[in-house]
Structures are given as structure tokens and as C-alpha cells.
Copies of this chain bind each other. A is one copy, B any other.
């Protein structure tokens, strides 16, 4: 059997890579969730949510990573893989994890609205299914959760700005164009833009 990542030493490290993927997603305007598949100490697949980019409702970070890992290993059974993901997998992703026989999943923050790892459904450890997953959660929980909160917070402000700008005339549109920018974290700096428009 291939060695697993060591939970004490490696979980933080691999979750940081998943977080890098989440930041790449945010920069592209995708809901910022990232995932990494690891065997032993080696990352064999990494990815992030690409639903909008690919126009594909199934293009969640975990699905992309599971499919990439299967291609790399030339088999659909991922029996040596530990999967790291920044947010609790949804029903679809939890189902895919069970189908792929992934033995261990490490996630950051819970998803109380749609989580399939215990929050809304308990798919990863359902006794009726033919595979159950060892679960660890809360790894870098605050960072994983805050990336999402910031993204949706910024999006709400941006939508508000867009609404205001639509009711204004063209000089204000110019003002908005000057003030709105993507900051160095990949996030849309909308609060300053909103105050600029309100002046």
C-alpha cells in the first residue's frame, strides 16, 4: 500500500495548495474552491471550480481533480488518494468521491447549505453504500471560509455598483471605470468604487 500523507505534518501543506487553487478561481471570477489529490507526498492532480468558464454545472474542483487523477493513474479506482478540498463537498462531489473509492478526504470549512459530508447529507460515510470515507475537517477553516465570504461580499457590492451605475449618466460611468480594479489578492475592490460612485 502506498504511504499516505501524514495528517500532522502534511494536511496544512496540501490544504495550502488547495487554497492557491481557490485564489486562482477567484481571480477568474469563479466561486473560489480548490482541491488537490495526493498520493504519499506527491500531488498528482490539482484544480479549481470552473463552472462559469466551461459552462459546465459539473465542473467543481473535486470533480476536475478526480477526473485528472483517474487519467493520470489510468484507472477509476483512486484507492491510494487523499483528497484535499477547501470547502465540504456537495452531494455530487461526495457521490463521486465514494464512486472513486477515495479512502480519505480532508476539507477546510463546512457548507451548511449544501454539504454532502454531514451538513445536509452524509454521503461520505453512509453505511448503505459500498464505500465509506475517512474524514478530517476544519483544516485552515477560517481562511477557506473567508475566501468564499470575501468573494460573495465583493460580488454583492459589485452588483450594487452596477445597478447604481446603470441609473447614472456617462460621466459617472467613467468615474466607475477608473475606480474599480482587481486588487493583488485577485478580488474586485468594489467598496471604494461604490463610495466613489455615491459621491
A57 touches B74 (CB 8 A): no
CA distance in complex: A100, B59 (Å): 11
CA distance in complex: A76, B74 (Å): 28
Set of chain B residues within 8 Å of A71, measured between Cβ atoms: 55-56
Residue of B nearest to A119 (CB): B128
A96 touches B128 (CB 8 A): no
CA distance in complex: A101, B74 (Å): 32
CA distance in complex: A52, B74 (Å): 10
Set of chain B residues within 8 Å of A91, measured between Cβ atoms: 91-92, 94-95, 98, 116, 121, 123
Q: A76-B51, A91-B116, A121-B121 are in contact. Are A58 and B96 (CB under 8 A)?
A: yes
B95 touches A70 (CB 8 A): no
Set of chain B residues within 8 Å of A95, measured between Cβ atoms: 90-95, 116
Question: What is the 8 Å Cβ interface bit string for chain A, positions 54-78, against chain B (1 contact, 0 not)?
Answer: 0111110001001100110011111
Give the copy number: 2
B58 touches A63 (CB 8 A): yes
Q: Answer yes or no: A99 CB below 8 A from chain B CBs.
A: yes
Rounded to whole Å, the gap between the CB of A79 and the closest CB of chain B is 11
B74 touches A66 (CB 8 A): no
CA distance in complex: A125, B57 (Å): 18
CA distance in complex: A63, B92 (Å): 10
Q: Answer yes or no: A198 CB below 8 A from chain B CBs.
A: no
A58 touches B58 (CB 8 A): yes
CA distance in complex: A189, B78 (Å): 32
Question: What is the 8 Å Cβ interface bit string for chain A, positions 107-130, against chain B (1 contact, 0 not)?
Answer: 000000110100011010010111
B94 touches A114 (CB 8 A): no
Set of chain B residues within 8 Å of A128, measured between Cβ atoms: 113-114, 120
Q: Which of A78-105 contact B (CB under 8 A)?
A: 78, 90-96, 98-101
